A and B are shown apart, each in its own frame.
Chain A
Amino acid sequence: MTLLTDIWFQLQRHLRTQIRMPVWIVINLVQPILWLLLFTQVFKSLATLPGLGGFSYLQFFAPGVMVMTVMFGSAWAGMGMLQDIDMGVLSKTLATPVTRVSILMSRVLASMIVLIVQALVIFTIAIIMGVHLETGAPGVLFTILLISLLGLGFAAFSNGLALLLRRAEPLIGIINLATMPMMFLSSTMMATSLLPGWLNTVRRFNPVDYAVVGVRDLVLHGYIWSDLWRSLVVLFCWAVAGMAFGLMMFRVKAE
């Protein structure tokens, strides 16, 4: 009970901070809009390739943009924790009887809420641009479930790294280093049938790819349960692993 109230009050603080600094949310949204508008123009002729199954590149790429936004947004979640460490907010909080795990959980939860809002905005823009949603409103909910798990994992890992590294420079470095290949070593931008064989092997170890495959099914093809189950299980494990790492770092480094 105290855990829930502790999370609730800190969650309010984190969301308030986000709302008062909307510039970050805007930047995080402008980028995917640019992807949707410009990237799809550059690669427009790709639609003639057989692997895309007759869909326009915009239609094909929109799920990828959604996943990328979630990944890039939540991977930076640790910066907030870092700031709390730097300003002395964390140690001051730890000297109160507040439930320890609520400190990390409220941060991760705040990241998830922000990314869900972002995803909904991207959905809206994509639909306005003419993207067709095969599974409709239930598909949107399913999509949110998948990307929430992905984002939860990233946010938790990022917070754990912030606690471990305690400095902005290495944290920024690692986030950049990790997210870029995670984006390219997946089917985010290209159909699986058109990827080289080694990449098709590598992407099976990439949680981002499972999110892309799942969301793409929901947007383009409908409920392909063999894919969806696999995505759901893998992303759930990814989220649990992230949380475990974050909590472990919290225990070791903050307490």
Chain B
Amino acid sequence: MAEQNVNLCFRGLRKRLDVSFLLPRRTKWSILNTDPLGRLGAIANIMSVIATHQLTKIYPGGTKAVDGIDFEVNAGEIFGFLGPNGAGKTTTIKMLNTLIQPTSGTAAVAGFDILKNPDEVRRHIGYVAQDVGVDEYGTGRENLELYGHFYRLDGKTIKKRVEELFKLVDLSGYEDKIVSTYSGGMRKRLDIAMGLIHKPDVIFLDEPTVGLDPQTRVHIWEYIHNLAKAMGTTIFLTTHYMEEADHLADRIAIIDLGKIIALGTPNELKQSISGDVVTLSPCAVKDAECKEVIRHAQSVLSGESFVIGTQATDGELAVYVDKGESAVPSIMRILAGQGIEVKTISLARPSLEDVFLKYTGRTIRPQEGAHTTYAEMQRKRMRRQR
């Protein structure tokens, strides 16, 4: 077990060492980032960049936001924390970056205990919150420089890093513009750059693309991907977007109601659902009658030998089968025989959505990022007040 961990760390290390080849024009930077002599020992000891032990948070009032979770994040990987709103993602991040204290349990981040050594933890992490926490009235450069000072970098280093980071997040030319003139995507990029100024061992991205339009979202994904692959930064990312986790993460933990219910690579998770998914709906409107029909269809299909499993949701029935192509006609025939008319039917390879459905019996309802609802804003407000 320990040996495996050491191996994983060295894999992370190699990623760091690779940088000079990937970024020939930024050799200096990459050498700084790899710091082979200084970190070799440290990482071999740390093994994992994040390791939690029975991490638990109960808010005043009894809400168990995080319920005794255990997981490890390896050096150099993108670790996705996937779950619906209120699952405990942000609470976990805030415990790991020392903003709130766990009720019980603990964690080691970058080799330091979050309870015993919070200051060292802060020195080695970057945090990009869900809200874009940039100073609206300052310029991009001023924002970045202030963070450089917070991390005790000297003036010369800050100047150099600022230039590099503006290039990295594609904001060159906007350094001296006031942030209130930036677009949402630009602010987020500046926000991410601010979390990187001190070359952290691990960067926490809390819902990095929430509230951004689809194109900007894809852009941000690119930056995150480059960051991990070219610089070897370990990334801990939370999201409630399936496609985001699928696209970015090396490994995913699915969290629901404060517990990790599945953990693995996206492929492993998908393979945990064998075969194909046939999703059908027998009704035009979702009412009580519809529910009844779906329950009926579910009980009928569950008895069939070619059906591996079924899962009913609001207005739809997911049927897991071995061979989708041949199952669809059979399903249609069987249901027709029961007097159930199928209104819509689709066939797909299992997605993370199905994985989530399988483990929780619910679907994640992704809110459309571009439209932040009033309710969502209220929710964010409530979160801050805790």
A-to-B contact residues, CB < 8 Å = 2, 5-6, 9-10, 13, 16-17, 20-21, 85-98, 166-167
Chain A hits for B132, CB < 8 A: 87-88
Asked if B134 contacts A96 (CB within 8 A), the reply is no
A97 touches B384 (CB 8 A): no
B125 pairs with A13, CB closer than 8 A: no
Q: Mark B86-122, 1 if CB is under 8 A from A, else 0.
A: 0000000010011100000000000000000001001
**Chain B residues proximal to chain A, CB less than 8 Å:** 94, 97-99, 119, 122-123, 125, 127, 129-138, 142, 146-147, 149-152, 178, 194, 381, 384-385
Distance of A98 Cα from B149 Cα, bound (Å): 8
Cα–Cα, bound, A195→B129 (Å): 55
A88 touches B119 (CB 8 A): no
Q: Which of B132, B146, B150 has the most CB of A within 10 A?
A: B150
How distant is A158 from chain B, measured CB to nearest CB, in Å? 19
Residues of A within 8 A of B119 (CB): 97
Q: Measured between alpha carbons, how far is A95 from B138 in the docked complex, in Å?
A: 20
Q: Decide if A9 touches B146 in the complex (CB within 8 Å).
A: yes
Q: Are B129 and A88 in contact (CB under 8 A)?
A: yes
Compute how far the CA of A13 lies from the CA of B134 in the bound complex, rounded to whole angstroms.
Answer: 12
Q: Which residues of A contact B135 (CB under 8 A)?
A: 13, 17, 89
Is B151 in contact with A16, judged by CB distance below 8 angstroms? no
Docked CA distance A13–B224 (Å): 29
Given that A87-B136, A88-B131, A95-B125 are known contacts, is A166 also in contact with B150, CB under 8 Å in the complex? no
For A13, A86, A95, A166, which residue has the most chain B Cβ atoms within 10 angstroms?
Answer: A95
Given A95-B125, A96-B122, A97-B119 in contact, is the A17-B138 Cβ separation under 8 Å? yes
CA A87 to CA B137, docked complex, whole Å: 12
Q: How far in angstroms is the closest Cβ of chain B from A18?
A: 9
A8 and B151 CA atoms in complex are apart in Å by 14
Shortest B97–chain A CB gap in Å is 5
| A17 and B133 within 8 A (CB) | no
Q: Are B123 and A95 in contact (CB under 8 A)?
A: no
Given the complex, which residues of B lie within 8 Å of A5, measured CB to CB?
Answer: 149
Residue of B nearest to A96 (CB): B150
Would A96 and B151 be within 8 Å (CB), given that A10-B146, A89-B135, A91-B99 are in contact?
yes
Report the Cα distance A28→B381, complex, angstroms. Answer: 30
Q: Cβ of A97 and Cβ of B151 under 8 Å apart?
A: yes
Q: Determine which of A2, A10, A94, A167 lies in contact with B99 in the assembled complex, contact meaning CB atoms within 8 Å.
A: A94
Query: Are B142 and A92 in touch, CB under 8 angstroms?
Result: no
The interface residues of chain A lying within 8 Å CB-to-CB of B133 are 87-93
A95 and B97 form a contact (CB under 8 A): yes
Q: Which residue of A lies closest to B125 (CB)?
A: A95
B150 touches A97 (CB 8 A): yes
Set B123, B137, B142: member contacting A97, Cβ < 8 A: B123
Output the least CB separation between B233 and chain A (Å): 16
A52 and B137 alpha carbons, distance in the complex (Å): 46
Please list 26 pairs of residues, one from A and one from B, whose beta carbons are closer than 8 Å in the complex, sorted by A's number: A6-B149, A6-B150, A13-B138, A16-B137, A16-B142, A17-B135, A17-B138, A20-B178, A87-B132, A87-B133, A87-B136, A88-B131, A88-B133, A89-B135, A91-B133, A91-B384, A92-B127, A95-B97, A95-B99, A95-B122, A96-B127, A96-B147, A96-B151, A97-B150, A98-B150, A166-B384
